[in-house]
Amino acid sequence: MVHNKMTVTLRIKEASLLLEFLTLATRCMSGSIENIMETDMVAMMRRAHGRVTMNMLVSVHELLVLEDVDITKRLDYSSTISVLGFSLIVSILRTFDVRVEAARVMVSAPVLALVTTHLLYINFYKLDYGWNMIVCVAMGVAQLFLWARWAVVSRHPSNWKLWVVVIASGLAMLLETYDFPSYGGYFDAHSIWHLATVLLTILWWSFIRDDVEFRTSSLLKKSKTKAK
């Protein structure tokens, strides 16, 4: 009875996660913003790192306290691909400074379709760890490439934070790709990966905050220039 209730709860969680991603992606394409002084990108980054990532953290917490079974694996994979998918949309729109609504739709729709198809595949057809890893790594590498390219051409005051995140994330990704057994019974590649993501998340959020201030300042300067 307890196991059945647990299964139902996790199924609801999966459905909630998929709905959350669809909702956020729809808002992304519609270009809704939360503050007139913010750009679409700032609002999307806040939603991506607030709502979707929080959903993922809750899922990870559930995985830590529950058994390692198919349903928990699906929840883990679904959370990861959802965060990667939405982050990929954000990275494309931010690094290429896409502001036209039609262009946002053209960028977001294919990524949304890819992530949704992948979620349906691993949850209702075949739970394939190898294929899921390939998709996740490809999306992760694509984001790192986009941010690295943008860091080269931009003159952002917090570029150094972005470079640290890009390089460290690339190195940390190797821990997921090339796993090694537990050392002394205390830590393995996967545990080090999770530790690294905690530290990188703090620095990444610091960069996002700096970017908000930088873009807001730029908008204020432009508005004052036009007013003159």
- The secondary structure of 94-160, three-state, reads HHCCCCCHHHHHHHHHHHHHHHHHHHHHHHHCCCCHHHHHHHHHHHHHHHHHHHHHHHHHCCCCCHH
Q: For 101, left (φ over 0), alpha (ψ -120 to 50), or beta?
A: alpha
Q: What is the pLDDT of residue 67?
A: 53
End-to-end distance of the chain based on CA atoms, in angstroms? 71
Determine contact, residues 17/82, Cβ cutoff 8 Å. yes
Q: Does residue 140 register a pLDDT over 90? A: yes
* Mean pLDDT of the chain, nearest integer: 76
Q: Does residue 58 register a pLDDT over 90? A: no
Helix (H, G, I), strand (E, B) or coil at 179: coil
Window from 29-33, 66-70, 95-99, 178-182 with minimum mean pLDDT: 29-33
Q: What is the pLDDT of residue 161?
A: 95
Please give the C-alpha separations between residue 130 and each of 120, 134, 135, in angstroms, as whole numbers: 16, 6, 9
Q: Does residue 214 register a pLDDT over 80? A: yes
* 39 pLDDT tier (thresholds 50, 70, 90): very low
Determine contact, residues 128/180, Cβ cutoff 8 Å. no
- What is the token pair recorded at 17? 């996660």
> Which residue carries 């960069």 as its tokens?
207
Helix (H, G, I), strand (E, B) or coil at 67: coil
- Round to whole Å and give the CA distance between 184 and 180: 12
> What is the model's pTM?
0.74
Spatial CA neighbour of 122 closest among 111, 135, 132:
132
User: Of all residues in the chain, what percent are helix, strand and coil, respectively (each to 5)?
Assistant: 80, 0, 15
Q: Does residue 19 register a pLDDT over 60? A: no
